[in-house]
Amino acid sequence: MEQVLERTEEKMQKTLNALAYDFSMIRAGRANPKLLEKISVSYYGAPTPLQQVANISVPEARMILIQPWDKTLIKEINKAILASDIGITPSDDGQSIRLVFPELTGERRQELVKDCKKKAENAKVAVRNIRRDAMEEIKKMQKASEITEDDEKDLEVKIQKATDRFIKEIDEETEKKAKEITTV
């Protein structure tokens, strides 16, 4: 009986974690090394994550510095960055690569806030779907006489409270990210 609640909360937490990860990939005018997590470089013929072939640092608020350990990889890294969807053109000096992030325009900030809200709404829908699945499972358990009607009602209340809590957390995270994006 309690396993249903635990599984439900676990799934809701995964949804919240996925949203937080999505938010971390949205650049808010500041350089964030997480933007480069999805980029792979061809290293001796094998696709290798950028973090495994270079040192990545943020020397200034709007700049990422990539220093490959093997300088012959600079062309490959440049190519991988250009092929990615981060929208920044790399510049290199033969030793390292710099990614300079332009200041976001007011219009672009509003687009990013809208994007955040859309991602948050999708996360809320996912949480509600998880709730619906859990409620159906509880009803089936009650019909199969695995739990009593009182247990069914108690579980439904607990699942609804968990749903409300996760929806509130999603709203708070969205508000925080929107504030981060709109702060100049």
**pLDDT 10s digits, 13-49:** 999 999 998 888 776 667 778 778 888 888 888 888 8
Cα 70 to Cα 115: distance, rounded to the nearest angstrom: 37
Cα 132 to Cα 171: distance, rounded to the nearest angstrom: 20
Going by the DSSP 8-state scheme, the letter that residue 92 receives in this structure is E
- Write the CATH number for 54: 3.30.1360.40
Question: DSSP strand E in 25-168: where?
Answer: 40-43, 46-49, 54-60, 63-68, 91-92, 97-100
Question: DSSP strand E in the chain: where?
Answer: 40-43, 46-49, 54-60, 63-68, 91-92, 97-100
Question: Nearest 5°: CA angle at 40, between 94 and 112?
Answer: 95
Number of domains comprising the chain: 2
Confidence grade of residue 50 (pLDDT, cut at 50, 70, 90): confident
Q: What DSSP element (H or E) covers 173?
A: helix 149-182
Give pLDDT, residue 9: 94
Residues 78 and 19 in one domain: no
Give pLDDT, residue 15: 95
Residue 174 in this model has a pLDDT that exceeds 90: yes
- Distances 142 to 54, 129, 131, 147, 155 between C-alpha atoms, Å: 56, 20, 17, 5, 11
Q: What is the mean pLDDT of the chain?
A: 88
Q: Select from 63, 80, 100 the last residue of a domain.
A: 100
In this prediction, residues 167-180 reach a mean pLDDT of 93
Q: Select from 100, 115, 133 the last residue of a domain.
A: 100
What's the 3-state SS for 102-127?
Answer: CCCCHHHHHHHHHHHHHHHHHHHHHH
Residues 125 and 160 in one domain: yes
Q: Domain containing 119: what range? A: 2-25+105-182
Tokens of 58: 């943020």
Give pLDDT, residue 170: 95
- Write the CATH number for 19: 1.10.132.20
Residues 21 and 79 in one domain: no
Tokens of 176: 């925080």
Residues 178 and 109 in one domain: yes
Q: Select from 73, 100, 127 the last residue of a domain.
A: 100
Instruction: Tell me if 66 sits within 8 A of 50, measured CB to CB.
Output: yes
Instruction: Tell me if 12 sits within 8 A of 162, measured CB to CB.
Output: yes
